[in-house]
Amino acid sequence: MTAPTRPPPSSQALAWATVAWRKHLGEPHVVLDRDVVDPAEIATFATEHRVAAILRPGRRAEVQACLRVATAHEVPVYPVSRGANWGYGSRVPTSHGAVLLDLSRMERVVDVDLVLGTLTVEPGVTFADVEERLRGTGWMLPSPGSSPGASVVGNTVDGGVCDGLVPLRRRAVLEVEVVTPDGEVLRTGLGAFPDARARGAHPGVGPDLTGLFLQSNLGVVTRMTIALQRVPPRQAAVHLQLYDDARLPGLVDAVRIVLRDGLIEGSVTFYDEIRLLAMTTRYPYGEVGGATPLPEAWLAEVREALGGSRWIVEASVRSTDGARLDSARRTLIEALTPWADRVDFAADAPTPQFTPRAPAHRRDRVLA
What is the contact surface with ligand FAD in residues (CB under 6 A)?
Answer: 78-88, 103, 123, 144-146, 150-151, 153-155, 157-158, 160-162, 220-221, 278-279
Helices (H), the chain: 11-25, 34-37, 60-72, 127-134, 152-157, 248-260, 273-280, 296-305, 322-336
> Cβ 327 to ligand FAD, closest distance in Å?
30
Beta bridge partner(s), residue 224: 121, 176
Q: Which is nearer to ligand FAD, 80 or 112 (CB)?
A: 80
Q: Which is nearer to ligand FAD, 88 or 193 (CB)?
A: 88
Q: Respond yes or no on whether the N-terminal peptide bond of residue 203 is cis (omega within 30° of 0).
A: yes
> Cβ 175 to ligand FAD, closest distance in Å?
14
Q: What span, in angstroms and rounded, lies between the C-alpha atoms of 95 and 49?
A: 6
Q: Which is nearer to ligand FAD, 30 or 150 (CB)?
A: 150
Radius of gyration of the chain (CA): 23
Q: What span, in angstroms and rounded, lies between the C-alpha atoms of 55 and 42?
A: 18
Q: Which is nearer to ligand FAD, 269 or 337 (CB)?
A: 269
> Cβ 214 to ligand FAD, closest distance in Å?
9
> Cβ 45 to ligand FAD, closest distance in Å?
11
CB contact at 8 A, 67 and 45: no
Q: Which is nearer to ligand FAD, 279 or 305 (CB)?
A: 279
Count Cβ atoms below 10 Å from residue 107 Cβ, excluding itself.
17
Three-state SS for 69? helix
Beta bridge partner(s), residue 363: 113
> Cβ 350 to ligand FAD, closest distance in Å?
25
Bridge pairing between strands 109-113 and 139-140: unpaired
Contacts (Cβ under 8 Å, ≥6 apart) of 301: none
Q: Which is nearer to ligand FAD, 145 or 322 (CB)?
A: 145
Q: Which is nearer to ligand FAD, 204 or 219 (CB)?
A: 219
Q: Which value, to the nearest 10 degrees, does the dihedral of the CA atoms of residues 134, 140, 141, 145 take? A: 110
> Cβ 275 to ligand FAD, closest distance in Å?
8
Contacts (Cβ under 8 Å, ≥6 apart) of 228: 117, 118, 119, 134, 139, 140, 141
Q: Which is nearer to ligand FAD, 150 or 231 (CB)?
A: 150
> Cβ 320 to ligand FAD, closest distance in Å?
27
CB contact at 8 A, 339 and 254: yes
> Cβ 284 to ligand FAD, closest distance in Å?
15
Q: Which is nearer to ligand FAD, 18 or 222 (CB)?
A: 222
Question: Nearest-CB residue to ligand FAD?
Answer: 154
Which DSSP symbol is given to 6? P
> Cβ 166 to ligand FAD, closest distance in Å?
12
